[in-house]
Structure 1
Amino acid sequence: MTRTVDDLRNEIRLAVGRYERQESTAFTKEALAAICDAVDYEIDTNRLPSKPQMRAGILWKIGVLEEDDPDKAGNPFRKEELKSIAASLQDE
């Protein structure tokens, strides 16, 4: 069975201790922060960075990007990126 973007997001949410969502939504800042923690991308949890910064950091830590450049992660994760994140969290 092919996993949808929503399936992948929920799989990732559950892997980092967040809750599954019934409706289709992108990750909140808090969910992105939990993913950052899971992939060992250090952020200031007292003042969360921007979503693009956290997305870039996550993609950098799992080897999708060569650097944590927020200009390269301005949009929500694409399906292939979600697959890579989910796979990296399963390897943990």
Structure 2
Amino acid sequence: MSPTVDELRNDIRTAVGRYERVESTAFTKEALAAICEAVGYDIDTNRLPPKPEMRAGILYAIGERDTDDPAEAQRPFRKAQLEAVAAALDATD
């Protein structure tokens, strides 16, 4: 059986050194920043960029998008995107 969205998020969180969450919640800016670092997408960590910018950068860095345009990543990651991020981090159990 494939992992749920919540399980994928928690797998990704632990892969980048963040804490698992009991409740279902999207990634915080800090978690997205940790994922950016893990996939090699440079951001200014002194002042974290908006979430769409970081989501777009993550998807670009792992080859899921051709551009890091934040306009294409306004919504939280979809399940297929979470699976791609988890695979890039080798975060699935």
TM-score, length-scaled by structure 1: 0.97
Quote the offset at 1:88 in angstroms.
0.3
Aligned mates of 2:20, 2:32 — CA distance in 1: 14
Correspondence for 2:34: 34
Correspondence for 1:58: 58
Aligned mates of 2:86, 2:2 — CA distance in 1: 14
Runs of at least 4 residues off by over 3 Å = none
Aligned mates of 1:2, 1:71 — CA distance in 2: 29
Aligned mates of 2:64, 2:56 — CA distance in 1: 9
Aligned mates of 2:62, 2:46 — CA distance in 1: 24
Quote the offset at 1:2 in angstroms.
1.9
The yes-or-no answer on 1:13 pairing with 2:49 is no
Once the two structures are superposed, residues 13-44 of structure 1 have per-residue CA deviations (whole angstroms, 9 ceiling, x without a partner) of: 00000000000000000000000000000000
Aligned mates of 1:12, 1:2 — CA distance in 2: 15
Unaligned runs of 5+ in 1: none
Correspondence for 1:83: 83
Once the two structures are superposed, residues 22-73 of structure 1 have per-residue CA deviations (whole angstroms, 9 ceiling, x without a partner) of: 0000000000000000000000000000000000000000000001000000
- Helix, strand or coil: the match of 2:90? helix
Aligned mates of 1:63, 1:2 — CA distance in 2: 22
Unaligned runs of 5+ in 2: none
Q: How many correspondences in the alignment?
A: 91
Aligned mates of 1:42, 1:88 — CA distance in 2: 16
Aligned mates of 2:11, 2:69 — CA distance in 1: 25
